[in-house]
Amino acid sequence: EIVMTQSPATLSVSPGERATLSCRASQSVSSNLAWYQQKPGQAPRLLISGASTRATGIPARFSGSGSGTEFTLTISSLQSEDFAVYYCQQYNNWPPDSFGQGTKLEIK
């Protein structure tokens, strides 16, 4: 089973600034990597699939990059509604898919 490791566990950033979240896979997952956002009391929401393709309705300030084992989610200018927990997920080698443990993005 592939292990996904996200860093940092918590990221404190001011509104308007840039946030960079990382995700590392224990072996190559090609570009079969997704990012999800989860707010308290809500289901996860797909942001990015295929490592870099924004899902329908996702603002352009969200961007994904990487392939193989190293991936990055960048939020270019943080809005108040972006403070949430973010998860990466590999779906290249399944079953099972594997999720990272999450990065909590909090207001600085």
Partner 1 sequence: EVQLVQSGAEVKKPGESLKISCKGSGYSFTGYWIGWVRQMPGKGLEWMGIIYPGDSDTRYSPSFQGQVTISADKSISTAYLQWSSLKASDTAMYYCARRPVVPLGAFDIWGQGTMVTVSS
When the beta carbons of 17 and 106 are compared against partner 1, the nearer one is: 106
Q: How far is the CB of 88 from partner 1 (least distance, A)?
A: 10
Stretch that binds partner 1, among 11-19, 57-65, 68-76, 100-108 (CB under 8 A): 100-108
d(CA 44, CA 70): 22
What 3-state DSSP class applies to 81? helix
Contact 2, 95 (CB under 8 A): no
Contact 66, 33 (CB under 8 A): yes
Instruction: Determine if 70 is a binding residue for partner 1 (CB under 8 A).
Output: no
When the beta carbons of 9 and 16 are compared against partner 1, the nearer one is: 9
